[in-house]
């Protein structure tokens, strides 16, 4: 199909060439400026009489849509409103979100997107993304081609199989909304052009009985396919997406724990792959830990770290912190001995059942034989904290209230500045409330949470509570990898992201351990610069940046109406030139 429009950016100035006319312009979200079109543009594009006569600036449009947003009765209604705006005028949508990011990020991303995913089959709206079904695996190439983007048009693919969505588990085909939401954050935070990202869901069925018995369910109506057939489908997908989008970063999102680790291990050395649940979570939590250790005047290698919830995210955090300890001079084995992980059966230790990716953190049997426990062979969090006296306690268990007063006081008795991170989402699943943590430690706790919490007053002082939101790191990691066209995302690049976030954390007692979400765009740029530099240093960059700060800044798309050129046809680019090209066919 001939290209109908094309965005081109040269030295920071964006132009859109438009080869369609009239209502076809207004039907395309990236082209529909609504009353933002000037009289000259309206005549050139055949829009005369199709819009009210007044001409609005983008600022005026943002003000009006923000009033509409605030008038919505609840968070889900606000999500629906923003979703409809994105389908109508995508540039206005991104400008509105960018100007009110702290308020709107929880709407377009976690936690509200979780509720929207659960209601995916109950709503009727414009479908976004690509739906690849295991029941029609042979149609995969046709589906990717139907999306309309060529090999030079895509920088980023976000894909999910929906088994581990946020804190709500298997959501079947509705998981497409997490991929769409992730790309919205990539664009808002890191300036990835809206046309250069593709959201994809791999529909392999669902084990969610509510969905299987819902007459409105829109996905494959059978149990989730596993084993060899599943692996073949994923391999077929990786092959197809690599052929169609050879330069794209492949972002794996919300896969089940076993599949997530196995898929990342299988493809990360062959393709530019990134798993946000493993590597993104690790980077933002490690950034908070690094900031806390720096504030205490200590070394990371000297910390004793307990991870309550040593699953996909928890082990990812441990792996990155281990690597950072190795950078400080420990051997890998020595670093791994600084961690105590707890899974569903308690402490990971030799002789118990565990997943393959957990085994490296299993404690030797000789260490725990002398521990006094109520049930032989089972060592719970209270016992581990009492025996280990950790300096860092990380929660990724989804067990609300797991960090009890007794456990926290026991930890604080052996540590002057305990670092405590109840990271489970949503708020109802948090292992502890920051206000309680500060009360139980006499204001000494250094806290980061997974859900947003307000500031806490204690003992006449105000404490800002950092939110360990992956949005602080994954957009910058993606932008940095895209900027240098990295062949893979290395552990060093993820570590660079963690250090970049830690460096931008506020200083001082009571200050948050991470930068505020209001600084998300500048944080993403800083992360991208460090990630790009790490990629170049490690030899995985295929494009060198002469001036990373300038080049990254120039690459970040801005949500402003571009200059308009009405043309009769658009030449098909044979390769992506030095300037950015973002083309559309529909």
- pLDDT tens digit at each of 586 positions of the chain: 678 999 998 777 899 999 999 999 999 999 999 999 999 999 999 999 999 999 999 999 999 999 999 999 999 999 999 999 999 999 999 999 999 999 999 999 988 999 999 999 999 989 999 999 999 999 999 999 999 999 999 999 999 999 998 778 999 999 999 999 999 999 999 999 999 999 999 999 999 999 999 999 999 999 999 999 999 999 999 999 999 999 999 999 999 988 999 999 999 998 999 999 999 999 999 999 999 999 999 999 999 999 999 998 899 999 999 999 999 999 999 999 999 999 988 999 998 889 989 999 999 989 998 887 777 777 999 999 999 999 999 999 989 999 999 999 999 999 999 999 999 987 888 999 999 999 999 999 999 999 889 999 999 999 999 999 999 999 999 999 999 999 999 999 999 999 999 999 998 889 999 999 999 999 999 999 999 999 999 999 999 999 999 999 999 999 999 999 999 998 766 444 334 555 554 4
List, in order of start, the domains of the chain with CATH numbers: 1-15+567-586 (no CATH), 278-529 (3.40.50.720)
Pinpoint the alpha helices (H) of 297-402. Answer: 312-327, 332-336, 365-368, 381-388
Is 79 labeled as catalytic in the residue annotation? no
Q: How far apart are CA 22 and CA 26, in angstroms?
A: 7
Are the C-beta atoms of residues 261 and 252 closer than 8 Å to each other? no
Say which residue the tokens 């312009």 belong to. 25
Q: Which pair of structure tokens corresponds to residue 177?
A: 């909304």
Predicted pLDDT of residue 12? 75
CA distances from 372 to 380, 381, 382, 409, 551 (A): 11, 13, 12, 20, 59
Q: Which pTM was predicted? A: 0.93
Predicted pLDDT of residue 578? 37
Q: How far apart are CA 32 and CA 89, in angstroms?
A: 5
Are the C-beta atoms of residues 381 and 349 closer than 8 Å to each other? no
Is 119 labeled as catalytic in the residue annotation? no
Q: Is 23 exposed, middle or buried (0-12, 13-18, 19+ CB in 10 A)?
A: exposed
Q: How far apart are CA 133 and CA 119, in angstroms?
A: 20
Q: How far apart are CA 337 and CA 342, in angstroms?
A: 14
Are the C-beta atoms of residues 167 and 424 closer than 8 Å to each other? yes
Q: How far apart are CA 178 and CA 166, in angstroms?
A: 9
Predicted pLDDT of residue 427? 84
Of 5, 93, 109, 245, which is the active-site residue? 109
Distance of CA 102 to the CA centre of its chain: 16
Predicted pLDDT of residue 576? 45
Of 79, 182, 379, 561, which is the active-site residue? 182
Query: What count of other Cβ atoms lies within 10 Å of the Cβ of residue 49?
Result: 8
Say which residue the tokens 């961690």 belong to. 339
Q: Which pair of structure tokens corresponds to residue 341?
A: 């992980």
Task: Tell me which H or E stretch contains 419.
Answer: strand 419-422
Are the C-beta atoms of residues 324 and 290 closer than 8 Å to each other? yes
């Amino acid at each position: 199909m001939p290209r109908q429009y094309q965005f081109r950016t040269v030295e920071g100035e964006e132009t859109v060439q438009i080869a369609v006319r009239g209502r076809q312009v207004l039907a395309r979200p990236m082209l529909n400026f609504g009353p933002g079109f000037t009289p000259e543009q309206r005549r050139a594009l055949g829009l005369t009489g199709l819009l009210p006569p007044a001409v609005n600036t983008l600022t005026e449009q943002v003000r009006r849509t923000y009033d509409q947003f605030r008038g919505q009765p609840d968070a889900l209604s606000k999500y629906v409103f923003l979703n409809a705006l994105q389908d109508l005028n995508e540039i206005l949508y991104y400008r509105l979100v960018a100007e009110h990011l702290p308020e709107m990020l929880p709407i377009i991303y976690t936690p509200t997107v979780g509720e929207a995913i659960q209601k995916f089959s109950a709503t009727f709206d414009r479908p976004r993304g690509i739906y690849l079904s295991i029941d029609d695996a042979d149609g995969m190439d046709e589906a990717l081609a139907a999306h309309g983007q060529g090999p030079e048009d895509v920088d980023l693919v976000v894909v999910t199989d929906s088994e581990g969505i946020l804190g709500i588990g298997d959501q079947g085909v509705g998981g497409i909304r997490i991929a769409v939401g992730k790309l919205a954050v990539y664009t808002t935070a890191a300036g990835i052009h809206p046309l250069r990202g593709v959201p994809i869901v791999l529909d392999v069925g669902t084990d969610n009985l509510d969905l299987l018995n819902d007459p409105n369910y829109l996905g494959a109506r059978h149990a989730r396919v596993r084993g060899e057939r599943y692996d073949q489908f994923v391999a077929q997908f990786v092959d197809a997406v690599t052929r169609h989008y050879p330069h794209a970063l492949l972002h794996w999102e919300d896969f089940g724990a076993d599949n997530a680790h196995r898929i990342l291990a299988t493809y990360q050395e062959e393709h530019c792959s990134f798993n946000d649940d493993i590597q993104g979570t690790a980077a933002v939590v490690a950034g908070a830990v690094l900031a806390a250790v720096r504030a205490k005047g200590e070394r990371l290698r000297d910390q004793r770290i307990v991870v309550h919830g040593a699953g996909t995210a928890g082990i990812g955090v441990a792996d990155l912190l281990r690597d950072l300890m190795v950078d400080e001079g420990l051997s890998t084995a020595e670093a791994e001995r600084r961690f105590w992980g707890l899974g569903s059966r308690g402490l990971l230790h030799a002789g118990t059942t565990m997943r393959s990716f957990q085994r490296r953190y299993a404690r030797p049997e000789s260490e725990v034989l002398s521990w006094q426990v109520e049930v032989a062979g089972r060592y719970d969090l209270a016992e581990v904290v009492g025996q280990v006296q950790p300096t860092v306690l990380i929660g990724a268990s989804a067990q609300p209230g797991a960090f009890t007063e007794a456990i926290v006081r026991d930890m604080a008795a052996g540590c002057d500045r305990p670092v405590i991170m109840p990271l489970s989402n949503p708020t109802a699943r948090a292992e502890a409330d920051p206000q309680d943590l500060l009360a139980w430690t006499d204001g000494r706790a250094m806290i980061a949470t997974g859900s947003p919490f307000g500031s806490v007053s204690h003992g006449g002082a105000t404490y800002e509570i950092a939110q360990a939101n992956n949005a602080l790191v994954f957009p910058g990691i993606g932008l940095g990898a895209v900027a240098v066209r990295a062949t893979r995302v290395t552990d060093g690049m993820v570590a660079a992201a963690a250090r970049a976030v830690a460096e931008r954390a506020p200083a001082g007692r009571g200050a948050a351990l991470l930068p505020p979400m209001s600084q998300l765009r500048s944080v993403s740029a800083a992360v991208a610069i460090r990630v790009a530099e790490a990629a170049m240093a490690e030899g995985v960059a295929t494009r060198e940046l002469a001036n990373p700060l300038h080049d990254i800044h120039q690459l970040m798309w801005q949500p402003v109406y571009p200059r308009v050129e009405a043309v009769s046809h658009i030449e098909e680019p044979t390769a992506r030139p030095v300037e950015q090209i973002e083309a559309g066919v529909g």
